[in-house]
A and B are shown apart, each in its own frame.
Chain A
């Protein structure tokens, strides 16, 4: 039971933060299919920070753990600016730009890892080693029955994500920046008519999206792999998109949708191990959350209301 909860939360939390990244971008009116790429490139950037600062040593010091997240957020934001530039400056089709960036991220990460290893450390290697993930146990809460499982030996990023989620919710709903961002996704002409720079708001929204996705991507790298290689591209970015759509582009329902996916996954994983499912069948079992996505989309999509101006280019001075 506790392993289900542990695996569940360590999977759900990063998924939520990536999905919220998607919400920021899409609520401002910029389609974001590039979450997968943002998350992967962000994780790579986190790994790069580790490798650059601590050399190619097999075991980087533990304090690198926190620094790597700063790198991931910055790298994700930087990479997402490509998407913003393509969509906002060059008026590219948002969907195409997103898909292209996913492919580019995968190729770029593979290439850069090998080049960095070769040029700086003269080794042939296709991964960056990450430090051991910091864990923490909240002494008082962890002894509470049931709820305590959430606070025992959890990944140290878990409380940080919880804070980030609260902050993201607050900014989107209770600040003037959040109001402007939401307004840009509904009626950009109206926003412009009040003297607000729509394009600027959208750039900021996409950058936030990249930073959050990068952060989430690195969390996955820690919990799923412990190292950075091209295998970090496992489709969790797409799962986050599904969570955002089923959550109707609102933060609280999106958290719910992501939780359903994550816990479904960990329950299946638990059952599979417990009943000793053949290794070849394990992949099939792991596809359950994705099948769940399909089911939910069929039954849940009807009530979904995407932001009105999603994917539409905003033209100044259109008469």
Chain B
């Protein structure tokens, strides 16, 4: 347990870490005070998650030391971190999917009693009281006997927080907690964070969402490429200044947008219904048009049908009824390849599974939609030389600098690089319709802005763009028309400039139906 009276709950002194000769963290000096909400800002790969993983026993620093309450400590496992009163909620929740909320919370600290002093059994009643009490105190709103796999993303996150509270963590680290949440759910999470602070706990918030940091944090540290670029008092620093510190250069937040010039209807969806059992979302009676030169954004909380819609139009989920027309052709029953050849490009949401073959080289990944055509195939024979020529040219054209050029293993590329690879591949198809499914999910601010610029650039070239997203900012920055999807049905469709954030958020949460 952490002593109650020390002012500095955790301190990093000259902490460095490298992996196979690449320095990932360089000489970090940082102090977090007891009872504050401390934010750690940085782009993807800036080292912020790694730094916190060190605190939680994920790995050790190569040099330098970590002090808890002034005492140097070695933390080599999460169990030791718990013993020091440190808890962490990472981006990928570590929950047992087929167990209940209560079982997840008590796992590893199960209260066991013995029946007739002999037969051991789990005494859940006492634990349940304690867990329920914590739930009520922090407004977590969970039902203890629900199974994890039936819970929403946001609820699962609250289970993780509950786990840390049950273990009496004094210091709670949250890694990108709002990245996957709808605005109202994010608000609610931040309210919980404030309550944790009111109760005297310390919170470290790892984030690249500046708004969150601005809302709750007292101080924040900015990491860039493994170095600490500064520690700021949040109330005294502007959002723009923080962002520029993160990226390392001045940022152009405002997208240059020409006024929209709509052309003919390119995509026309009528009464589309899909039973899509794989991720439990279904689509009911969806109709809309996307015109050339238009960005049509479909926005909803995760799992409300936004991904299913993109999959259905791309042909990954068969339509049960209704029709999909691309220009003057009915593609409702067409295969994925037929749709692609008819003029559709698709950037899927799950880039590692649907967008890429991470085990195959870059050159193969770049021709997944054209390898069967000349010049990449002659008859039944693949022209590997053409693959490589295209890949070299591609990397040069898009300014992708990779350690081993086209021979860099795809799985070693960062999230941003992988996404830029997919976007480049799809835009090169020169399709009439291009679908971006959650293109900026989990990416840092620099890449996010770049992708938004690309979305608008495609539209300015006269393509029809369908964008699905969970992020209000992305939709508002790019879209000409916004449709809000809730529970698999459109609840509101209208021009983007006529909708307020407040209104959009309420529709996303299903307040209006």
Cross-chain contact B107 with A180 (CB below 8 angstroms): yes
Decide yes or no whether A57 CB sits under 8 A from chain B.
no
Cross-chain contact B107 with A175 (CB below 8 angstroms): no
Q: How far is the CA of A182 from the CA of B110 in the complex (A)?
A: 14
Q: How far is the CA of A174 from the CA of B97 in the complex (A)?
A: 18
Q: Which residues of A contact B59 (CB under 8 A)?
A: 317, 319
Decide yes or no whether B122 CB sits under 8 A from chain A.
yes
Q: How far is the CA of A192 from the CA of B108 in the complex (A)?
A: 9
Binds A, one of B74-82, B202-210, B427-435: B74-82
Decide yes or no whether B341 CB sits under 8 A from chain A.
no
Cross-chain contact A194 with B78 (CB below 8 angstroms): yes
Decide yes or no whether B99 CB sits under 8 A from chain A.
yes
Binds B, one of A30-38, A183-191, A290-298: A183-191
Cross-chain contact A319 with B53 (CB below 8 angstroms): yes
Cross-chain contact B95 with A190 (CB below 8 angstroms): yes
- Residue-wise interface mask of A (172-210) relative to B, using a CB-CB cutoff of 8 A (1 in contact, 0 not): 001110011011001101111111100000000000000
Q: Which residues of B contact A187 (CB under 8 A)?
A: 94-97
Q: How far is the CB of A313 from chain B (nearest CB, A)?
A: 17
Q: Which residues of B contact A179 (CB under 8 A)?
A: 99, 103, 106-107, 110, 122
Q: Which residues of A contact B99 (CB under 8 A)?
A: 179, 182-183, 186
Q: Which residues of B contact A191 (CB under 8 A)?
A: 96, 107-108
Q: How far is the CA of A317 from the CA of B94 in the complex (A)?
A: 14
Q: How far is the CA of A82 from the CA of B95 in the complex (A)?
A: 30
List CB contacts (< 8 Å) of B445-500 with chain A: none
Most buried by A among B79, B94, B96, B104: B96
List CB contacts (< 8 Å) of A83-139 with chain B: none
Q: Which residues of B contact A319 (CB under 8 A)?
A: 50, 53, 58-59
- Residue-wise interface mask of A (279-319) relative to B, using a CB-CB cutoff of 8 A (1 in contact, 0 not): 00000000000000000000000000000100000000101
**A177, closest chain B residue (CB):** B120
Q: How far is the CB of A16 from chain B (nearest CB, A)?
A: 22
Decide yes or no whether B121 CB sits under 8 A from chain A.
yes
Q: How far is the CA of A180 from the CA of B110 in the complex (A)?
A: 9
List CB contacts (< 8 Å) of B7-61 with chain A: 50, 53, 58-59
**A175, closest chain B residue (CB):** B120
Q: Which residues of B contact A195 (CB under 8 A)?
A: 77-79, 82, 108
Decide yes or no whether B98 CB sits under 8 A from chain A.
yes
**B56, closest chain A residue (CB):** A193
Decide yes or no whether B117 CB sits under 8 A from chain A.
no
**B94, closest chain A residue (CB):** A190
Q: How far is the CA of A45 from the CA of B31 in the complex (A)?
A: 62
Decide yes or no whether B512 CB sits under 8 A from chain A.
no
Q: How far is the CA of A196 from the CA of B82 in the complex (A)?
A: 12
**B76, closest chain A residue (CB):** A317
List CB contacts (< 8 Å) of B109-162 with chain A: 109-110, 112, 120-122
Q: How far is the CA of A175 from the CA of B106 in the complex (A)?
A: 12
Q: Which residues of A contact B77 (CB under 8 A)?
A: 192, 195
Q: How far is the CA of A183 from the CA of B106 in the complex (A)?
A: 12
How many residues of A are in contact with the other chain, CB < 8 A?
Answer: 20
Q: How far is the CA of A176 from the CA of B110 in the complex (A)?
A: 6
Cross-chain contact A175 with B94 (CB below 8 angstroms): no
**B121, closest chain A residue (CB):** A174
Please classify how large the interface on chain B is, using the bins under 10, 10 to 19, 20 to 34, 35 or more.
Answer: 20 to 34
Cross-chain contact B53 with A196 (CB below 8 angstroms): no
Q: How far is the CB of B176 from chain A (nearest CB, A)?
A: 15
Q: Which residues of A contact B112 (CB under 8 A)?
A: 175-176
Q: How far is the CA of A308 from the CA of B94 in the complex (A)?
A: 13
Cross-chain contact A317 with B58 (CB below 8 angstroms): yes
Q: How far is the CA of A189 from the CA of B95 in the complex (A)?
A: 9
Cross-chain contact B50 with A192 (CB below 8 angstroms): no
Q: How far is the CA of A195 from the CA of B98 in the complex (A)?
A: 20
Q: How far is the CA of A175 from the CA of B82 in the complex (A)?
A: 23
**B110, closest chain A residue (CB):** A176
Q: Which residues of A contact B122 (CB under 8 A)?
A: 174-176, 179
Q: Which residues of A contact B96 (CB under 8 A)?
A: 182-183, 186-187, 190-191
Q: How far is the CA of A189 from the CA of B78 in the complex (A)?
A: 11
Q: Which residues of A contact B107 (CB under 8 A)?
A: 179-180, 183, 190-191, 194, 196
Q: How far is the CA of A186 from the CA of B53 in the complex (A)?
A: 22
Q: How far is the CB of A303 from chain B (nearest CB, A)?
A: 12
- Residue-wise interface mask of B (285-305) relative to A, using a CB-CB cutoff of 8 A (1 in contact, 0 not): 000000000000000000000
Q: Which residues of B contact A189 (CB under 8 A)?
A: 94
Q: How far is the CB of A20 from chain B (nearest CB, A)?
A: 18
Cross-chain contact B108 with A194 (CB below 8 angstroms): yes
Most buried by B among A190, A196, A319: A190
Q: How far is the CB of A253 from chain B (nearest CB, A)?
A: 15
Q: Which residues of B contact A196 (CB under 8 A)?
A: 107-108
Q: How far is the CB of A32 from chain B (nearest CB, A)?
A: 19
Most buried by B among A179, A180, A182, A191: A179
Q: Which residues of B contact A193 (CB under 8 A)?
A: 78, 94
**B88, closest chain A residue (CB):** A193
Q: How far is the CA of A176 from the CA of B99 in the complex (A)?
A: 13
Q: How far is the CB of B365 from chain A (nearest CB, A)?
A: 24
List CB contacts (< 8 Å) of A187-244 with chain B: 187, 189-196
Q: Which residues of A contact B121 (CB under 8 A)?
A: 174-175
Q: How far is the CA of A179 from the CA of B79 in the complex (A)?
A: 18
Q: Which residues of B contact A317 (CB under 8 A)?
A: 58-59
Q: How far is the CA of A96 from the CA of B280 in the complex (A)?
A: 35
Q: How far is the CA of A182 from the CA of B58 in the complex (A)?
A: 24
Cross-chain contact A186 with B108 (CB below 8 angstroms): no
Q: How far is the CA of A76 from the CA of B121 in the complex (A)?
A: 27
Using a CB–CB distance below 8 Å, which chain A residues touch chain B?
174-176, 179-180, 182-183, 186-187, 189-196, 308, 317, 319
Q: Which 4 A-B pairs have the closest CB atoms?
A: A195-B79, A194-B108, A190-B94, A176-B110
- 26 example contacts (A-B, Cβ-Cβ < 8 A) are as follows A174-B122, A175-B112, A176-B110, A179-B99, A179-B103, A182-B98, A186-B96, A186-B98, A186-B99, A187-B94, A187-B95, A190-B94, A190-B95, A190-B107, A192-B78, A194-B82, A194-B107, A194-B108, A194-B109, A195-B78, A195-B108, A196-B108, A308-B97, A319-B50, A319-B53, A319-B58
Given contacts A179-B110, A319-B58, 10 further A-B contacts (CB under 8 A): A174-B122, A176-B120, A182-B99, A183-B107, A186-B96, A186-B99, A191-B108, A193-B78, A194-B108, A308-B97
